[in-house]
Amino acid sequence: MEMKNILIICSAISLFSSCGSESQNKHLTYQNIVILSDLSSRIDNKPSKDTDEIHKIVQYFKNECVKPGEKIGDKSSICFSSFSEKTIAAIDIGNIKNLGEKQQFINSTGKFQNNGLTYQIDDFEQKVKNAYSNIRNKGLDLISILTEKIENEPIVKESFYLTDGIDTTFVKYDNHIYIFTDGYLEYLNKNANSQFYFGSSEIEKVRQFCRTNNLDITTALEKNHSFNLPITKSKKNQFVNLHVFETHERDRNEKNLNYSHPKGERDNEVLAAVWRKWAVESGFKSFEWRKY
């Protein structure tokens, strides 16, 4: 065989081999949903809407994340706890490694017919309702507890990758922490440690500072650092989308449907600005404050 033909054949074999071993990278994203409820006297002040809102989050997890009958191999998770307890209810699809068993669980078929996702969803929501019926906390340092949970409990999932030397799968988690509270940071041991205490008295100080200096709330917080919560940096914060869901406004008269203070000075607006500034400076991926 002529040298020219040998070179052509070798080149063809080399090209074929390189095409056959070309890496195939996959990027997969799953949801990790964490629900933390402030089960204080706030939920006795007016009919609680928390469980209805939590039901919406649970249905989102089921229908938009896991998608029974549509999606294969999901790794999403959801958990619920109060600030005073560790995990009360949890569903983690990623814990089931075998794909066949995973799909049986998701679709509530086979050996999971009576203990699959459908049953687990109902059980999850029942545990939420039981917690709301039976747990009451007189006052907790929510920021300190949240920081502790993020840092020391396995509630935040970090992205990772899997490779066989050729193909690589990049697995990303969108972490969402939903806090159900009225936003007031009031707790019992203020005299021992007041750094994260922010209640009615602190709100009034911000309000008066705004009036005296003709400032809006955001500008007041920038100018007077004594109003700000201490920054709590953690490398895990960058992976967390923080949502604060607020339902009870103390300065709102439910009977007359009016407020004790004009727009721009209301409790809810001060609290939202204080929480947001703390979340941004503490390095959270995103922050949402929602009245509902």
| Token pair 């929501």 in the structure block, residue | 125
> How far is residue 124 from each of residues 59, 129, 153, 223, 265, measured CA to CA in Å?
11, 9, 20, 45, 39
Confidence band of 160 (pLDDT split at 50, 70, 90): confident
Of the chain, the percentage scoring pLDDT greater than 90 comes to 75
Q: In whole angstroms, what is the distance from residue 137 CA to residue 124 CA?
A: 21
Q: Which two tokens stand for residue 4?
A: 């020219």
CA dihedral 96, 50, 60, 109 (to 10 degrees): 50
> In this predicted model, what pLDDT tens digit does every residue of 80-115 receive, in sequence order?
999 999 999 999 999 999 999 999 999 999 999 999
75 in Cβ contact with 30 (< 8 Å) = yes
- Reply yes or no on whether the pLDDT at 38 is more than 90: yes
Residues 6+ apart with CB under 8 A from 172: 27, 28, 29, 30, 159
Mean pLDDT of 2-18: 46
Q: In whole angstroms, what is the distance from residue 265 CA to residue 283 CA?
A: 27
Q: In whole angstroms, what is the distance from residue 267 CA to residue 279 CA?
A: 18
267 in Cβ contact with 204 (< 8 Å) = no
Q: What is the mean pLDDT of the chain?
A: 90
> In this predicted model, what pLDDT tens digit does every residue of 144-153 receive, in sequence order?
999 999 999 9
pTM exceeding the 0.75 threshold for the entire prediction: yes
- Reply yes or no on whether the pLDDT at 2 is more than 60: no
Backbone angles phi, psi at 239, to 5 degrees: -95, 0
Per-residue confidence (pLDDT) for residue 292, from 0 to 100: 82
Max Cα distance, the chain (Å): 99
Classify burial at 122, counting beta carbons within 10 Å of its beta carbon; exposed 0-12, middle 13-18, buried 19 or more: exposed
Name the least confident of 41-45, 49-53, 112-116, 171-175: 41-45
Instruction: Return the bridge partners of 174, or none.
Output: 31
Q: In whole angstroms, what is the distance from residue 91 CA to residue 101 CA?
A: 15
> Degrees (nearest 5) of the Cα angle 55, 57, 101?
95
Question: Alpha-carbon torsion 281, 247, 249, 37, what sign?
Answer: negative
Domain ranges of the chain: 23-291
